[in-house]
A and B are shown apart, each in its own frame.
Chain A
Amino acid sequence: MIQLIVNGQPQLVPSPDSGTDSGTTNDARLNIRQLLEHMGLQGKRIAVERNGEIVPRSQFDQPMLASGDKLEIVVAVGGG
């Protein structure tokens, strides 16, 4: 499992290959797309910040997430 902080709240996400093998799976990293799918946000118009830096959509498939990462996932809402 990977322990992330998403929008200020702890979020436990299964590692990409957890359950398939034992041993070195702790090194497996999650990508943003997998995280969004886990959270039911796939296909939504969102933007992601990881540890204070913007993650461009073009990098959503790169396995970059590790335990302890702080993520912000935002949408546009009504405002003045």
Chain B
Amino acid sequence: MDKLVIAGKAYSSRLLVGTGKYRDFDETRVAVDASGAEIITVAIRRTNLGQNPEEPSLLDVLPPSQYTLLPNTAGCYTVEDAVRTLRLARELLDGHTLVKLEVLGDPKTLYPNIVETLKAAELLIKEGFQVMVYTSDDPIAARQLEEIGCIAIMPLASLIGSGMGILNPWNLQIIIENAKVPVIVDAGVGTASDAAIAMELGCDGVLMNTAIAAAQNPVLMASAMKKAVEAGREAYLAGRMPKKLYSASPSSPVEGVIGNMSGK
């Protein structure tokens, strides 16, 4: 069976999904299940001091017993904030060490700050975290993050939440060729074909949130993404035919066409 292996654990689904931007927890749960994702990202935030104590929490709706939770550092712009956030996440999730690190460089584009990301990753790895790292599509940054011990490299397809699809398939291809750890496209996927293209390029998985949550029908899009990731993976494994400008080799037999007087 073709499995995605992350930190020694095998997963059937190569689609990873975020849990933000949904209308409510009900929709989150139904969309996550429609996507078939086994690894789901969560954010760590201050408790709302005025909140209703009876309100259900995300972990009640998506229990860690049923999903592999991937706490993230979304919104962190410094090494310190990212590291503190993930230490809190580890405490919150009973010692869970698999995390998604992102250190952002700019609130407008949410582009990653690679220098700070490298520093944070190094610290976290020293503390025993298993770091899946959000990065740009720079092959050198990807290589350095792998060298210091990140267990998955997660380059952007395009900017977070932009839905612009894969802007630099050539860079992604270089990253995939060089990497010995899983490469997971994270951010920028807009619709099913984007996810399929990422997988056809040879990515090991795709992580998305807004493409599903901001669709007119998130549950239907979640199902579309599931199929797209599977289809793209199978196409990659099958090996596509070479591209040619035209072909002198039609699919139907050349001989035996009626009305041909020469008998050919």
Q: Which residues of A contact B (CB under 8 A)?
A: 6-9, 11, 39-41, 44-49, 52, 54, 56-57, 72-80
Contact = CB atoms under 8 A, between A and B. Distances in A.
Interface residues of B, number: 36
Given A7-B47, A8-B46, A78 B28 contact: yes
Interface in B45-96: 45-47, 49, 53, 57-59, 69, 71-72, 74, 84-85, 87-89, 91-93
Contact of A47 (B43, B74, B91): B91
Given A9-B49, A46-B47, A80-B18, 8 more contacts: A45-B92, A47-B88, A54-B91, A57-B91, A74-B85, A79-B19, A79-B45, A80-B21
A39 B49 contact: yes
A8 to B, nearest CB: 7
B45 A75 contact: yes
Interface of B: 18-22, 28, 41-47, 49, 53, 57-59, 69, 71-72, 74, 84-85, 87-89, 91-93, 160, 207-210, 213
A74 B44 contact: yes
Given A7-B49, A80-B19, A72 B42 contact: no
